[in-house]
Amino acid sequence: MLERALSLLGVTGGELATYDESHKDLVIVSSHNLETNAVGTRMALGEGAMGRVAQTKQPLIIPRYQDWEGHSSKYERTTIQSVMAAPLLIGSRLVGAIASVHADNTREFGPEDLRLLQLFAPQAAVAIENARLYAAAQQHFELLVRNNPVAFVNLDLEHNITSCNPAFERLYGYSEAEVIGRNLDELVTSKETLADARAKTERAEMSGGAFSGTGRRCRKDGSVVDVEIFTIPVTVAGERVGMMALYHDVSELLAARREAEEANETKSRFLASTSHELRTPLNAIIGYSEMLQEQAEEEGHTGYLADLGKIHSAGRHLLSVINDILDLSKIEAGKMELFLETFELRTVVDDVATTVRPLVAQHDNKLEVRASPDLGTMHADVTRLRQVLLNLLSNASKFTEHGVITLAVERAGDEMVFRVRDTGIGMSQEQMGRLFEAFAQAEASTASKYGGTGLGLAISRKFCRMMGGDVTVDSVPGQGSTFTVRLPSAAAPAAEQTSWPAAAGGGAHAGLVLVVDDDPGMRNLLGRFLSREGFRVETAADGAAGLRRARELHPDVITLDVLMPELDGWSVLTALKSEPGLADIPVVMLTVVDDKPMGFALGVSEYLTKPIDRKRLAAVLGKFTSAGVGAEGKNGRSVLLVEDDAATSKQLQRALEKQGWNVATAANGRIALERVAERLPSLILLDLMMPEMDGFEFLEELRQRPDASGIPVVVITAKDLTAEDRQRLNGGVARVVNKRGRGPEALLADVRSMIAGRASAR
Amino acid sequence: MARILLVEDNEMNRDMLSRRLERKGFEVKMAVDGRQGVEMARAGGYDLILMDMSLPEIDGWEATRQLREAPETKTVPIIALTAHAMAGDRDRALEVGCNDYDTKPIELTRLLGKIEALLGGKTGT
């Protein structure tokens, strides 16, 4: 760069310095044709010609350097006659300085020289800056890889290791020197896992995109480690140069999860057995005290009655506490199951009223039940409903004296509304805020005065929500409280909303979308969102349910989560595509794992990665529901697939069939010619490298047939074509598709455009 | 005077319930496990059976099933007693042939109501 500048200026020599931000000085990085080579010398701002221009940020011409007052004592350069220097700036930021020198005293720098230098300076400044940024990025990357706890390994096209980082050395116990040149799959696998490793590498290879999965790999010492694996094909300027593999040790994570699951299991068992152990003696306490009360009353020992009553009620209280804690822990562990049944509501209301009446009467309260005799039936968990109502009524009687407690029940549309109103002490806003939290009574002192665990309301709310409803409170201090329970008159079995109507005013798609996702949050989110967008939505919580629902509903579109327990998204997809009635339903995969090619190969119509971009989702679904799927006729689209590799052939065949193609296959050129003779396809997909008769020979033969010469041929090839190959193919082939690094997706796009082009040409 | 067979393995529960029922005027015989319960019931002479469901040897579910199969006990009213109100217990109890169902700890008035309903006016006293 310096040389170019100097020859441009036609000068003897010169120097280039870069500005060191951290030392606030210049470092000479290049020197040309000067009597002393000063590369590496540091110059303070203001020192010498370059120091001066760096400081002033102005160019400078020094006609007679030896006489110049700023003449640097650092080097005695007697031959230097005149000097021209300029700062290198990006905007106003200093990145370096350049100096040019005449050793010949007959020549001096003039304004034209200065103009030239100033033309060159910005380019030099940018070049220096780029070099610096590149070095910084390089260093950054190096640091990142060297210090990364994730094991990195680089591979060439044959999957031999070209480099690895220290984390890789630590994970597998090999030094970098030991692994260079070794085949990765053979290095880190045992006999059992080699096939798995090869399959993963192959898949990454086929898909051309990043691929992730988990597996077990082998260390140098033979021990086994659970790893999360990412394989990333590396492409530079459109050409595959190798692959990168990342390993993340997840053995500890897996062990921790196993431990946590075991601990949780232990906790559940402990709770179950403890509750049993506590209940058995409690039953005796409650039973015998009750019995003694009866006996004392009958036999006239009335003096004992009060004390026996205390034992009995303390026992009952303890039992209710144990039951509450057990309920709550079951709910929180997700183990509480609803037992839904259809029952006569009026009977339950009367039963609850009868049970609670003695309690209400304790504080001289009156119980009023307001419910029409023909409330009809309700579908819910009757035990839990009874528990909720008893809890609210017993709270009301606890906090009310000489008052009225009302239980009002009415039907409001699809809901049943239960109101428990009291004329008791009421609550402040602040007290109401914490009311439904576990272990949080309105005031700490409340427990001692009124008793109770503070769990009842928390449990009641959870039960209501499990049944698809809720409980709310409204209160005025000193005047009383009203608790309102709203429950769907027919609770859904999953205790969550499983379908959404299309919102009025949303888009006019009106299509039915089936959302299959194991995450209730996701189902809810998609359900709400899509219904707002004008879709009707049904949901399924697992793969099996998804298939069942798909058969029942025949939705316009299915969204499918990839990662689900039991039956994962891919399996569901495969099942969907193999059922005649369901195969045509467009499926949108939702996933955190980017595995597009796999999806398309299996017949996915569209593909979205999580987190979901809502706009895109709506657009994709809209496309399928409004435009009508596969409206362009699928009939008569036949393709002949000529490929010797059975796996590739199978995969492509499936992919094409899912796209509505009639596929004939041939394993070599000779068979392919027979197929063509049997029936003319509308398109031929052709592998070049095949036994018996290769692609080239086949093409030559094909073109001899007048009826077949017009068939478009798409070449699929793993080899890079030579000029000679191209020559041979010229005219005979519509498009060459490179197999390596391109998935079926690209191939399908080619095929589609080919047919479209052909149709319009006719 | 109605005769009740109480099948219950817990000694205290057996003692309490039998004494309380006796004070209400019933004649109560006791069995400590399912096998004994079935034997005694088939020997005859009971107007009603109170059957704990979690029993050693053969449990209450199985004992009830056997009693319903035997001609001599086919129609004897059985009330199932379970320790905790597990969802589904009630239906399961009715399914194996119990006539009614109650949970422990026993609430005597409630249980008496059920007994009287099944005995059809043939009460203890």
Instruction: For residue range A59-111, list pLDDT tens digits in order.
Output: 999 888 878 887 776 655 667 788 899 999 988 899 999 988 887 777 778 88
Pairing of strands A536-540, A557-561: unpaired
Nearest-CA distance from A283 to chain B in Å? 6
3-state class of A297 per DSSP? helix
Closest residue by Cα to residue A560 from A550, A551, A552: A550
Whole-angstrom distance, CA of residue A378 vs CA of residue A371:
14
Cβ-nearest to A319 among B10, B105, B108: B105
Cβ-nearest to A287 among B83, B87, B106: B106
**Which run of H or E residues covers position B49?**
strand B48-52
Interchain proximity A291–B12, CB inside 8 Å = no
Strands (E), A309-439: 341-344, 366-371, 377-380, 404-412, 415-421
DSSP 3-state helix, strand, coil percentages of chain B (rounded to 5)? 45, 20, 35
Interchain proximity A287–B13, CB inside 8 Å = yes
Closest residue by Cα to residue A28 from A36, A37, A40: A40
Q: Give me the total of CB pairs closer than 8 Å, taking one residue from chain A and one from chain B.
A: 43
Contacts of A436 (CB under 8 A, 6+ apart): A457, A458, A461, A471
The predicted structure's pLDDT at residue A601 = 44
Contact of A506 with A533, CB cutoff 8 Å? yes
What is the identity of the amino acid at A354?
Answer: T
Residues of A in contact with B104 (CB under 8 A): 283
Contacts of A266 (CB under 8 A, 6+ apart): none
Interchain proximity A339–B104, CB inside 8 Å = no
Q: What angle is formed at CA A496 by the lines to CA A495 and CA A500, rounded to 5 degrees? A: 140
Interchain proximity B87–A291, CB inside 8 Å = no
Whole-angstrom distance, CA of residue A163 vs CA of residue B94:
71
Residue B17's closest chain A neighbor by CA?
Answer: A287
Residues 40-99 of B with CB under 8 A from A: 83-85, 87-88, 91
Show the tokens assigned to B29: 């015989």
Show the tokens assigned to A68: 């110049």
Whole-angstrom distance, CA of residue A340 vs CA of residue A463:
12
Residues of B in contact with A341 (CB under 8 A): 91
Nearest-CA distance from B17 to chain A in Å? 8
Nearest-CA distance from A315 to chain B in Å? 11
Interchain proximity A339–B106, CB inside 8 Å = no
Sequence-ordered alpha helix ranges (H) in A569-645? 569-578, 596-602, 614-627
The predicted structure's pLDDT at residue A755 = 46
Cβ-nearest to B88 among A280, A291, A339: A339
Whole-angstrom distance, CA of residue A103 vs CA of residue A11:
8
Residues of A in contact with B109 (CB under 8 A): none
Contact of A99 with A85, CB cutoff 8 Å? yes
- pLDDT value at B106 more than 90: no
Cβ-nearest to A284 among B12, B19, B83: B12
Whole-angstrom distance, CA of residue A633 vs CA of residue A61:
78
Residues of A in contact with B87 (CB under 8 A): 337-339, 381, 383
Range B88-112 average pLDDT: 83
Residues of B in contact with A339 (CB under 8 A): 87-88
Residues of B in contact with A320 (CB under 8 A): none
Residue found by looking up tokens 């597996």 in the block: A215
Closest residue by Cα to residue B102 from B65, B75, B77, B71: B77
3-state class of A509 per DSSP? coil
Q: At what angle do helices A305-332 and A456-466 cross, to 10 degrees?
A: 40
Contact of A28 with A95, CB cutoff 8 Å? no
The predicted structure's pLDDT at residue A164 = 92
3-state class of A55 per DSSP? helix
Closest residue by Cα to residue A92 from A125, A65, A67: A125
**Which run of H or E residues covers position A715?**
strand A713-717
Q: At what angle do helices A520-532 and A614-627 cross, to 10 degrees?
A: 60
Residues of B in contact with A283 (CB under 8 A): 10, 12-13, 104-105
Closest residue by Cα to residue A487 from A385, A390, A406: A385
Show the tokens assigned to A594: 């980017």
Contact of A264 with A332, CB cutoff 8 Å? no
Mutate which of B18, B19, B82, B92 to disrupt the A interface (most A C-beta within 10 Å)?
A: B19
Residue B21's closest chain A neighbor by CA?
Answer: A291
Strands (E), A201-288: 211-218, 224-236, 239-249
**Count of C-beta atoms within a 10 Å radius of residue A351:** 14
DSSP 3-state helix, strand, coil percentages of chain A (rounded to 5)? 45, 25, 30
Show the tokens assigned to A651: 């995969």
Q: Does B125 touch chain A (CB under 8 A)?
A: no
Residues of A in contact with B85 (CB under 8 A): 383
Helices (H) and strands (E) in chain A, counts: 24, 29
Cβ-nearest to B85 among A283, A319, A383: A383
The predicted structure's pLDDT at residue A532 = 73
Half-sphere exposure of B60 (CA within 13 A, CB side): 27
Residues of A in contact with B113 (CB under 8 A): none
Contact of A418 with A353, CB cutoff 8 Å? no
Mutate which of B6, B9, B12, B17 to disrupt the A interface (most A C-beta within 10 Å)?
A: B12
Q: What angle is formed at CA A214 by the lines to CA A595 and CA A232, rounded to 5 degrees? A: 50
Nearest-CA distance from B18 to chain A in Å? 11
Whole-angstrom distance, CA of residue A328 vs CA of residue A518:
24
What's B71's DSSP letter? G
Residue B23's closest chain A neighbor by CA?
Answer: A295
Indicate the average pLDDT of chain B: 87
Low-confidence ranges of chain A (pLDDT < 50): 442, 448, 493-495, 508, 594-595, 597-603, 609-610, 612, 625-635, 730-732, 734-742, 744, 747, 751, 754-762
Closest residue by Cα to residue A440 from A461, A425, A423: A461
Mutate which of A278, A293, A294, A297 to disrupt the B interface (most B C-beta within 10 Å)?
A: A294
Interchain proximity B13–A337, CB inside 8 Å = no
Q: Does B105 touch chain A (CB under 8 A)?
A: yes
What separation in angstroms does the CA of A95 have from each of A47, A62, A132, A137, A162? 16, 22, 10, 17, 37
Residues of A in contact with B17 (CB under 8 A): 287
What separation in angstroms does the CA of A478 have from each of A396, A481, B47, B53? 13, 9, 55, 49
Q: Which residues of A touch B (CB under 8 A)?
A: 275-276, 279-280, 282-284, 286-288, 290-291, 294-295, 298, 319, 337-339, 341, 381, 383
Whole-angstrom distance, CA of residue A497 vs CA of residue A491:
9
The predicted structure's pLDDT at residue A633 = 36
Residues of B in contact with A275 (CB under 8 A): 84
Q: What is the torsion angle, in degrees rounded to the nearest 10, for the CA atoms of residue A731, residue A733, residue A739 and residue A740?
A: 10
Q: What angle is formed at CA A591 by the lines to CA A588 and CA A592, rounded to 5 degrees? A: 155
Nearest-CA distance from A339 to chain B in Å? 6
Q: pTM to 2 decimals?
A: 0.41
Show the tokens assigned to A26: 């210049």
Residues of B in contact with A330 (CB under 8 A): none
Residues of B in contact with A338 (CB under 8 A): 87
Q: Does B23 touch chain A (CB under 8 A)?
A: yes
Cis peptide before A373 (omega within 30 of 0): no
